[in-house]
Structure 1
Amino acid sequence: MKRVLIIYYSQSGDVTRAVESLTKCLKTPEIQLSWECIKPKADYPYPWSLYKFFDVFPECINGEHPEIFPPKFNHNYTFDLVIIAYQVWFLAPSLPIQGFLKSEYAKVLQNTKIITLVVSRNMWHSASETMKKMIAEVGGIHIDNVVVTHQGPPLATFITTPWSLLTGRKNRLLGALPPAGVKDEDIDALSIFGERIANHLTKTDCSHHSMLAGLGTVEVNQRYIIPELIGRVIYHPWAKIARFFGQQGSWSRLPIICLFAVHLLFAIPIVLIVSNLIQFLFAPLIHKKIASYVELLKSPISVG
């Protein structure tokens, strides 16, 4: 009997749908599945209010994780595989998942093979690298990463994703923009990866090599690399300043959070223009570094 632990946190339901599709083929007599939905002690409402949405930003960037309620999985079990499915908040793993990985309960990951499943808009790179480092810190063995992104072109998701977060609706907006979230077809396609995982688990081979090599689980769009890197640089000072003025939910930092939200509205188009100029003017100089970063993103191993 092989034991698989599934750790996840979902708000809109996309993460839940994705991980259920991924593990559909693992529901066999030879495999025992344990499901664990992380429950943070802090309140992260869905749909979000506009202020609460931006108010989690400093903690996401600074890695100030919330406390979580004790998980229900059997702590005496040794699992053959752990699957961690998560969202991206402000270019970082969602705070509840950070809370689990920084808690005492994360010792279940030690010396255990781990597959991550990230469900995000289009800028998932920084969150993925952060996850790799946190998994390494607790002694986990990250063997594969699966990435699922929201449907529609970037400009469309720039509208539909916030709309969904603030209203809870996923329907077509204005009759023209695509629905928010992940396509049903992309969710269903994850079962192909699940078949490969099930085949590996039923073998006696206990190696720590990839289970999903060659299946194209990670596709990197190079257009988003520079904008995201610039975004990370911009985010850090704002997060430090906001945190200096108070903790999450405190009125003392309300003006800073509001200023950040307004700043972000104007900064995003500027960042996109600047990143396009950088890629156009300095393409020969940065080509190798971008290519190297793409390979890093595709690898389950963190460097540095």
Structure 2
Amino acid sequence: MKRVLVVYYSQSGDVTRAAESFTRYLNTPEVELNWECIKPKVDYPSPWSLYKFFDVFPECVNQEPPEIYPPKFSGDEKFDLVIIGYQVWFLAPSLPIQGFFKSKYAKVLKGTKVITLVVCRNMWHSASETIKKMIAEVGGIHIDNVVLTHQGSPLATFVTTPRLLLTGKKNRFLGFLPAAGVRDEDISALSRFGKRLANNLAALSNSSPQPMLKGLGAVEVNQRYVIPEVIGWVVYRPWAKIARFFGKQGSWSRIPIICIFAVQLVFAIPIVLIVSTAVQLLFAPLIHKKIASYVELLKAPSGVGEKSTITHPLK
């Protein structure tokens, strides 16, 4: 019998539904499926209040997560596979998932094969690379990465995703904008990955770090988001440090800084999109290879055949 642990955190319920679909074919007598929803000691409401949403920004970027309540498993337990489902907050893994990696319970990943499942709007690149680094730091063996993004164009999700976060409403909006979150069909399609795993359970016992989900379309990288996200990550870091300098999460002393950041972000996003489009048009011959290399890194480990040695385009 193979022991599989599913570690996840979900607010809207999309991550939960995604993980359930992913593991549908693993509900068999040959698999002991263990579920663990990470519970942070800090409350993160759903839907968010506007200020509370922006107030988690510094800690997300600076990787200062909250403590988590003890899970049902111990860090010394052994599993054949761990599946980690997470959201993206401000281009970083959500704070509860960061809290898991910073806890002693992350030892459960040491020497264990890990598959990551990210559910987010569209800019998941930085968070994915951060998770890969965290897995490596605790000794996990990252064999596959699966990405599921929200439905709709970038302009549509610029409206529908904040509406979902702040009101909890997922239905179509204004008569022409799609429903928020991920499509039911896309969630249902995740079962193909669990089916591949169920048909190859013996592979979990070997020491090979080779991906098991290669060829199933686990990761789709839209190159139009690469430069905007890189710019966003560069801009976020100094803002996060400044806000943190004025106090911890929930402190009154940093309210003015958080409010200024929120206002400038609304105006900065369209500017960044315009600038990034211009950069890609004007400097395409110079940056094409760099972007292509980074895309291959983002697809790894599921999207490329060999272990990648590519570095982040800013390094």
TM (norm. structure 1) is 0.98
Q: What is aligned with 1:258?
A: 259
* Correspondence for 2:154: 154
Structure 1 position 248 matched with structure 2 position 249: yes
**Where do residues 82-161 of structure 1 align in structure 2 (5 Å cutoff)?**
82-161=82-161
User: Counterpart in 2 of 1:57?
Assistant: 57
Q: 1:80 and 2:102 equivalent?
A: no
Aligned equivalent of 1:19 = 19
| Matched length | 304
- Equivalent position of 2:189 in the other structure: 189
Alpha-carbon separation, structure 2, partners of 1:205 and 1:81: 9
Q: Secondary structure at the match of 1:11?
A: coil
Shift of 1:208: 2.3
1:105-133: CA deviations, max 9, x gaps?
Answer: 00000000000000010000000000000
Task: Give yes or no for contact 2:147–2:219 (8 Å, CA) kept in 1.
Answer: yes
Q: Deviations over 1:152-208 (max 9, x none)?
A: 111000000000000011011112110000000000000011100111214575132
Q: Quote the residue 2:304 is aligned against.
A: none
- Summarize the Cα distance change of 1:48–1:204 in structure 2 as closer, same or farther, 3 Å threshold: closer
Please list the CA deviations of residues 122-149 of structure 1 after superposition, one character each: whole Å capped at 9, or x if unmatched: 0000000000000000000000000000
* Aligned twin of 2:223: 222
Q: Percent identity?
A: 76
Deviation at 1:75, TM superposition (A): 4.6
In the alignment, the residues of structure 1 paired with residue 163 and residue 137 of structure 2 have an alpha-carbon distance, to the nearest angstrom, of: 36
8 A contact 2:38–2:68 mirrored in 1 = yes
Unmatched 5+ stretches in structure 2: 302-306
> Any conservation in 1 of the 2:81–2:204 contact (CA below 8 Å)?
no
Contact 1:30 1:202 in 2 (8 A): no
State the SS of the aligned residue for 2:42.
coil
The question of 1:238 aligning with 2:249 is answered no
> Which amino acid in structure 2 is aligned with residue 241 of structure 1?
I
Find the aligned partners of 1:96 and 1:162 in 2 and give their Cα distance: 20
SS of the aligned residue for 2:190 comes to helix
In structure 2, distance between residues paired with 1:150 and 1:32: 31
Q: Deviations over 1:49-87 (max 9, x none)?
A: 000000000000000011000001255531000000000
Give the letter aligned to residue 259 of structure 2.
C
Match of 1:211, SS?
Answer: coil
Q: Is the 8 A contact 1:65 1:98 kept in 2?
A: yes
Shift of 1:288: 0.3
Q: Which amino acid aligns with 2:290?
A: K
State the distance in 2 between where 1:277 and 1:75 align.
49
Partner of 1:198: 198
- Find the aligned partners of 2:114 and 2:76 in 1 and give their Cα distance: 18
Task: Tell me the distance in 1 between the aligned counterparts of 2:54 and 2:274.
Answer: 24
Contact 1:35 1:73 in 2 (8 A): no
Q: Deviations over 1:16-54 (max 9, x none)?
A: 000000000000000000000000001101100000000
Aligned match of 1:213: 214
Q: Secondary structure at the match of 2:87?
A: strand
In structure 2, the partner of 1:175 is 175
What is the CA–CA distance in structure 2 between the aligned matches of 1:34 and 1:229, rounded to whole Å? 36
CA deviation string 1:266-296 (max 9, x = no partner): 1000000000000000000000000000000
CA distance in 1 between partners of 2:114 and 2:204 (Å): 17
Within 2, Cα distance between the matches of 1:262 and 1:131? 29
The one-letter code of the counterpart of 1:298 is K
Structure 1: unaligned runs, 5 residues or longer: none
User: Does 196-205 or 152-161 show the bigger shift?
Assistant: 196-205
Q: 3-state DSSP class of the match of 1:18?
A: helix
